[in-house]
Structure 1
Amino acid sequence: MVAMMAAISHASAANAAAGCRVNYVVTSQWTGGFHADIAVTNLGDPVNGWTLRFAFPAVDQRLTQTWSATWAQAGQQVSATNLGWNATLGTNGSANIGFVGAWSGSNPIPASFTLNGVTCTGGVLPSVTPTRTTTPPVADWPAIVTWLSPTAGAVYTTPGTVPLAATATVGGGHSITSVSFRVDGVTVARGVRTTGDRFEALWTPPIGEPGTSTTFVLYVSAGTDQSLSGAAPPLLVTVVTPASTGTNHPPAVALSTPGGQTYFLEPTTVTLVADVADTDPGDLVSRVELYLGATRLAVTPTNSGQRYQFQTALSAGTSSTFTVRVHDSHGGIGISNPLTFTIR
């Protein structure tokens, strides 16, 4: 009978006292085969779950039959993992496992063992307090934003556009991910990078009543890949709608429906088309409204050029007369022909 006894350290937790003893005994040996018993004794703090590992010294040594553990062999490397009933090893507690093996040429005893990944060093290792590594905080790099256009106090005239431009930079190797231009707190445009750190956009101010001016507060801000933002101080601009000069002709508007159908047998949704024309030079359509009788409906049209479309629902047993009113930028109002729909 050949026996080997070794002290093996193991760790069941990061701060547990650890140590163990392994008794590897070849109880019988014959040509081409042998029987081995292994006793694993825990000398440290209790463990719940363990794996014993060792290497056969000879390439022809291999497992053929095993017990009391889940065994595995890959080349010369061997492992034995606890079963459910022997997973817990208290202090000085032991697990007895074994196997039948095959050999050829020689059958040397393994030189070392590990338990739960720790190589045998002998005795009991003291408790260890884990070392905590603190990652240095990442520096915050907000965007730095500067207005280029417009200048504070600038005055613009409608109809027209206001050029918006700003520079946006960020340090620390980070990047600008977005630039937003806002008017009175509402986003009106996203900046497009043109050259270097310059971002540009255009804003079309609303047309006011003729002969009036309106002051707007403009904002610009930028976001970064750190999800941090930066902003330039807000600035004020004034937009003037000129007073009418000479004679203002109201817009012309014709109301129709595709197909011309105005009589229906059941409730339906109809499409109304308003074709608008304004012959005054520089005059623009500022508002298009749909009326049911004398009531203005809360309907927003879609438009393609000077053609505006509305959709409205018609109820059973009704006769509805619609008109469209068109306002131009100089205060002119055009009213369409009436269009009546009947639902039976």
Structure 2
Amino acid sequence: MPVLEDRVCPGCHTPTLGDRPERRGVLAGLCTRCERLWLDRADLLTLVGHEPELRAPLLPGLAGTDALCPACGQAAVGERECDAGPLLCCSACGGVLLTRAVLDGLRGSQRAGAVASLVDASERVSAAPSVDAGLQRGEGPRLPTGAELRAALRRDDDAPVGDRPDRVPFDHPVVELGTFPLAAVLGWLVSSSDGAMTFVLPVQLFIHELGHAVPSWLSSRRALPLPCGVTFWEEQRSLFVGLGMAFLFGVLAVYAYRERRPFGVALSAVGLALLAFFSLAISAERSFEWTILGGVAGEFWISALMIVSFFFRLPDRLRWDFFRVLLIFPAFATWW
């Protein structure tokens, strides 16, 4: 790989791209500003073990499109998207600029492929004809041993802890197709029984109080929902609350746009529109009425939002791949 010292980073367009030793003897380019890695095609194959499938981005227009390649010098760096997330790729030499989270996501798919290869190889060996097939019946397919599984799933010691794959994957057919109807049936059964509803009562109370607090926050008022069934709010509007809510929705929009999460972008856009409507378009008295009526309404729309959000990834800072499975059951029980 050529020396990248003082080269211009195609992502942030600053001369901050320098050399950094990576795993397996690879010399990568590290941008000290945006903290992304530049890898040429051969080094990417060395670290990942396979050629990732690249496609056109779902939300085009990020910085770095048609930038100069730090390796070949051609203006051929454009946006691409893979299964692990967005990246910048040079169409001339095949070099890529990606975050460490995307790199570890590609390496995670390699480990999953290694486990599948071990299982497939063991099944082929077990299915092969044996010389003593007429004397002794086989014992069935051999499963991989614990040592083989640990070797296939082994991570390097310097891999970041926060960038691990999803604990409950979003593309697993059993999770995606089985959890939703099961949660709907159990939620209906729980809501039909007063005794069983006691187990989800704390979550239902908090959703009810959150329904009071959300219109108050969108109206630029302070509010404190408590899971014991009480919500405190102020009648006076606060500029600090309004700017704070706008800042939080803006942060959600930026991270969702960077990580190609259309659901997060839509959620932040709707939140900003409601914030402007409740804070500027309607009177303080009318918004206060929404705060009072928001408890019962929140049991419907907050539960529905939790149910719909089950199928969508949030930005990595708001990862909820595991908690979505736990929350969909009380959400259905509250919604019914």
Shorter-chain TM range is under 0.3
The structure with the greater share of residues assigned to strand is 1
Q: TM-score, normalised by structure 2?
A: 0.20
Q: TM-score, normalised by structure 1?
A: 0.19
